[in-house]
Structure 1
Amino acid sequence: MDVLLDFGARFLHQLQSPTLAFLLGGILIAALGSRLTIPDSIYKFIVFMLLMKVGLKGGMAISEADLAAMLLPALIAVFVGCLIVVIGRYTLAMLPGIRTEDGIATAGLFGAVSGSTLAAGMVVLENDGIAYEPWAAALYPFMDIPALVLAIVLASVYLKKKDGSGEKVQIWPIVKESLQGSALSALLLGIALGLFTNPGKVVDTFYEPLFRGLLSVLMLIMGIEAYARLNELRRVAHWFAVYAALMPLVHGLIAFGLGYIAHVLVGFSPGGVVLLAIIAGSSSDISGPPTLRAGIPTANPSSYIGASTSIGTPVAIAIGIPLYIGLAQVVFGS
């Protein structure tokens, strides 16, 4: 009983963090009818800045990392991203009233990774003084790319079987499209620059001081967008709402369990386990939607984007992050 009370207290404490407050504040002012809008160009610039900083720090860390220690968490990230898509394909996509391609696209979006949720998780961990491997953020593409590619492949196979064309699915164009997406391009560029150059000064003097402020604006935008997308979600099957509310936590807990195995086998830190769970519990808000629009054009964007933005992301940030931190404090000790 004491353990549950302790966990509950820590969970409530996490809900009061500034990062989560901006998200909830955005939802609140949108619900009250505020006309506040932030231009899409500013949103894209903020995401670019955040992912470049994450990539630069991750690349610098990889250059100094024990690659043997990083290998298992990276393989787990690939496995979890693919597993999330497979789970969605044989649960959500098979429910009554759900078009199969809509269900697969939704699973692909939830298997991919949200850069904003990753950034929020890193800030919360740092605010709480929870250490994690600097290269842990670089697990992002190991989960993101396989999930998107697998979702598009599964949808393509299903649609080709449905129309009886028998045409083979070309994998490489799908991979190429994913890699050329704006979010992954920024992240991979940052990783490469951090890995092969020495960007420490520009990170410390430019990216680092702006990081938390830009993240707070991004969380405000995400909150406003989440409320705006609620109307879209009401127009599609209620199963999407159930999936978006429950599965981010299921995905995160699966990753937490596998991350614990990596902790035991290769010494993956508790903070790294939490960050892996946060990544798995997120749903792509930048790289995923345009990639899936192009790869599964018959899927309804209102289904997968509405489910992700209006419910999935708030659940992943407001509930998932404090949940995994509280769980880690119970499992690993304070």
Structure 2
Amino acid sequence: MIFSGLAENITNPALLFFLLGIIAVQLKSDLQIPESSSKFISIYLLFSIGFKGGQELSHSAISGELIWSIVAGVLLAATVPLLAFFILKRRLSIENSGAIAAAYGSVSAVTFVTAISFLEFQQVEFGGHMIAVMAVMEAPAIVVGVLLINLYNKTDKNRPSCKSVLYHSVTNGSVVLIMGSLIIGFLASDKQAQGIEPFTTDIFKGFLAVFLLDMGITSGKQLSVMVKKGLYPFLFSTLMPFFNGLVALFISMQITDSPGNQLLFALLGASASYIAVPAAMKNAVPKANPSLYLPMALGITFPINVIIGIPFYYQIIQNAG
């Protein structure tokens, strides 16, 4: 059953474009997406998903599911870095352990968007409040990761303050955009939302396909980097997402009966940030090596989640239902 779900997911055009990007790198093709175009598309995807989530949220009453989902999301984002840090620091430096832990405690908006595309293809409904859950899970992991580095690396005299770390976490561009779009979508009336629907909805899947092509090209390049890092980072970036995803899925099943919400929560737990965390760590922990935590999150964990993780968790949800 899982393999049938996997085969069905691989026929998704967006995912096929991701695989095309990886293949292009292996063929040493000069195919690439201009950096400015890639940045615009990432901004568009965050804007679109945030706005649509705000619209869905405006039609939903404040419920126990909404509150508990946000609480569970924040707690998960804060506790995953703790577990990851103590696993990693046995083999890696304090700085790298903290940065990787923060990446795996935080979330990947693109993985989330890909899961939404999968649900729409399967015609499975999900709650708009899950966008809010994703947004609030960005910052806690970054803060916890840097706090752990500060706690265990007492020799560094240039450690940033907790206030500075918190500020850079919540003002990160992706966090501001997703939260701002969510609020704007919540405030907009149905008539106003329909006015920009061709932009927020009709062209969404096309832009997602192009963006995943770019992610495939980037991931293909990062895979060669990961080979040089040894077995330990590879095993961590392969196994940790499934552990986190299964824990998140179990928690979600206690909160909601919605298969769509359960899948999205599982993917939030399983995903690793390769946008918000690198941007924050560059300022907060310059000694952390981005050529280690970025390939782990983008080159290994992201492909595993979108190719195997989504159908795997969805099959579990269907069997449990």
Q: TM-score range by the shorter chain?
A: over 0.9
TM-fit CA distance, 1:30: 1.1
TM-fit CA distance, 1:171: 2.2
SS of corresponding position for 2:203:
helix
2:25 paired residue among 30, 49, 52? 30
Pairing 1:281–2:292 present = no
TM-fit CA distance, 1:203: 4.1
Counterpart of 2:318?
329
2:188 paired residue among 197, 205, 211? 197
Aligned residues: 318
Distance 1:202 1:299 in 2: 45
Pairing 1:53–2:48 present = yes
1:247 paired residue among 230, 240, 247? 240
Distance 1:203 1:273 in 2: 29
Equivalent runs, 1:217-228 vs 2, <5 Å: 217-228=210-221
TM-fit CA distance, 1:84: 1.5
Aligned-pair Cα RMSD in Å: 1.7
The answer to whether the 8 A contact 2:53-2:131 is kept is yes
* Residues 206 and 66 (structure 1), Cα distance of their counterparts in 2 relative to 1, 3 Å cut: same
TM-fit CA distance, 1:276: 0.7
Structure 2: unaligned runs, 5 residues or longer: none
Aligned AA (2:32): T
Superposed CA offset, 1:50-74 (max 9, x none): 1111111122222232323300011
Pairing 1:99–2:93 present = yes
Structure 1: unaligned runs, 5 residues or longer: 1-5
TM-fit CA distance, 1:238: 2.5
Distance 2:67 2:179 in 1: 18
SS of corresponding position for 1:148:
helix
TM-fit CA distance, 1:169: 6.2
Counterpart of 1:8?
3
1:108 paired residue among 99, 102, 106? 102
Distance 2:71 2:220 in 1: 35
Distance 2:130 2:182 in 1: 12
Aligned AA (1:82): A
Aligned AA (1:215): L
Distance 1:103 1:62 in 2: 36
Identity %: 26
Distance 1:310 1:322 in 2: 19
The answer to whether the 8 A contact 2:2-2:311 is kept is no
Equivalent runs, 1:226-265 vs 2, <5 Å: 226-263=219-256
Counterpart of 1:123?
117
Segment drifting more, 19-28 vs 253-262: 19-28
* Residues 33 and 168 (structure 1), Cα distance of their counterparts in 2 relative to 1, 3 Å cut: closer
The answer to whether the 8 A contact 1:57-1:135 is kept is no
SS of corresponding position for 1:33:
coil
TM-fit CA distance, 1:168: 8.7
Taking structure 2 as the reference length, what is the TM-score of the superposition? 0.94
Counterpart of 1:216?
209
